[in-house]
């Protein structure tokens, strides 16, 4: 699929960010989960770094996934749906030059948007349990490099910081203001503790806001919309739920359970729908 095809979904995502509603995206991790999200009417899919690591490697979120693997998973999802996909690009897989390569690969893979964060990854030897963060200057430089590497102006680039929870609202506000001045398209905040903190962090910043890992105190959509929130990720429950379903199905069969008992959880119609069986049957009739 060419750049023009990707641009249309990027324009859809950009219009969402420029609107006045806060939407909850679908946490997607492979082609079938993305198809389900699209069929259910979600307006946006998100591929988190943690779920990408689980789906591709079966590994936890400890920065062992490579850029090549992330880009390939993005490409698989993007070619399977027309749903705009926001991709968690973590720290850009290295320094500012690596960030430029990350933007190039994810743009070519069909991402509608990507976020770059200021967390130090992977965890350094001897580091404490609390997350470490790059300097403000390095965070700014990475975002400037990302903007320089972007070929399609419709690609959304979001600057992400997780500092609100660990370092406090004042430090998060300082970073958000500096990141916004680079010319990025959106701010991505993780771990905000209260509406008051969020208002302090976003004071004087006009960019659209993406949120994740919020506390119950922040769960007021009207207040979030007033503060510029346009995307609110509530978590990555789908991959956990699907893993549990697979485990229980396999355990049932391994323990000698009957197939009849599994009929209630099976749906041929659903599998045919998400695999687009009717479309492939139509192609077979036409070309074979």
How sure is the predictor about 266, in pLDDT bands with cuts at 50, 70 and 90? low
Domain count, the chain: 1
Classify residue 274: in a domain, yes or no: no
pLDDT reported for residue 58: 96
pLDDT tens profile 161-172: 999 999 999 999
Q: Does the structure show a pLDDT above 70 at 128?
A: no
Percent of the chain with pLDDT over 70: 97
Q: Which of 27-31, 141-145, 270-274 has the lowest mean pLDDT?
A: 270-274
pLDDT tens profile 207-261: 999 999 998 889 899 999 999 999 999 999 999 999 999 999 999 999 998 887 7
pLDDT tens profile 50-80: 999 999 999 999 999 999 999 999 999 999 9
Q: What is the mean pLDDT of the chain?
A: 94
The CATH number of residue 113's host domain is 3.20.20.60
Largest CA-CA distance found in the chain, in angstroms, rounded: 64
pLDDT reported for residue 36: 97
Classify residue 225: in a domain, yes or no: yes
Classify residue 24: in a domain, yes or no: yes
How sure is the predictor about 1, in pLDDT bands with cuts at 50, 70 and 90? very low
Classify residue 276: in a domain, yes or no: no
Classify residue 185: in a domain, yes or no: yes
Classify residue 273: in a domain, yes or no: no
155: containing domain: 3-241
Classify residue 259: in a domain, yes or no: no
How sure is the predictor about 125, in pLDDT bands with cuts at 50, 70 and 90? confident
Q: Measured between alpha carbons, how far is 229 from 68 in angstroms, rounded to an integer?
A: 31
pLDDT tens profile 94-117: 999 999 999 999 999 999 999 999
Classify residue 214: in a domain, yes or no: yes
pLDDT tens profile 196-207: 999 999 999 999
């Amino acid at each position: 699929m060419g750049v023009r095809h990707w641009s249309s979904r990027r324009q859809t995502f950009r219009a969402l960010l420029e609107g006045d509603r806060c939407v909850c995206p679908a946490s997607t991790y492979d082609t079938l989960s993305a198809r389900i999200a699209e069929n259910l009417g979600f307006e946006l899919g998100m591929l988190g770094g943690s779920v990408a690591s689980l789906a591709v490697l079966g590994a936890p979120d400890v920065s062992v996934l490579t850029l090549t693997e992330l880009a390939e998973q993005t490409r698989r999802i993007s070619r399977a749906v027309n749903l705009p996909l926001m991709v968690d690009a973590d720290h850009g897989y290295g320094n500012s030059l690596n960030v430029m390569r990350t933007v190039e690969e994810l743009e070519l893979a069909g991402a509608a948007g990507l976020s770059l964060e200021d967390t130090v990854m992977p965890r350094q030897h001897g580091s404490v349990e609390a997350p470490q963060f790059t300097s403000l200057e390095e965070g700014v430089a990475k975002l400037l490099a990302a903007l320089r590497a972007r070929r399609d102006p419709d690609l959304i680039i979001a600057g992400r910081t997780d500092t609100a929870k660990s370092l406090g609202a004042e430090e998060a506000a300082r970073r958000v203001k500096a990141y916004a001045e680079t010319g990025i398209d959106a701010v991505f905040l993780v771990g905000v503790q209260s509406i008051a903190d969020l208002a302090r962090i976003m004071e004087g910043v006009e960019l659209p806001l993406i949120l994740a890992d919020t506390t119950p105190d922040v769960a007021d959509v009207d207040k979030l919309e007033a503060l510029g929130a346009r995307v609110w990720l509530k978590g990555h429950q789908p991959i956990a739920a699907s893993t549990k379903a697979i485990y229980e199905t396999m355990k049932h069969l391994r323990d000698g359970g009957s197939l009849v008992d599994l009929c209630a959880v099976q749906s041929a119609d659903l599998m045919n729908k998400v695999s687009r069986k009717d479309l492939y049957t139509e192609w077979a009739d036409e070309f074979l």
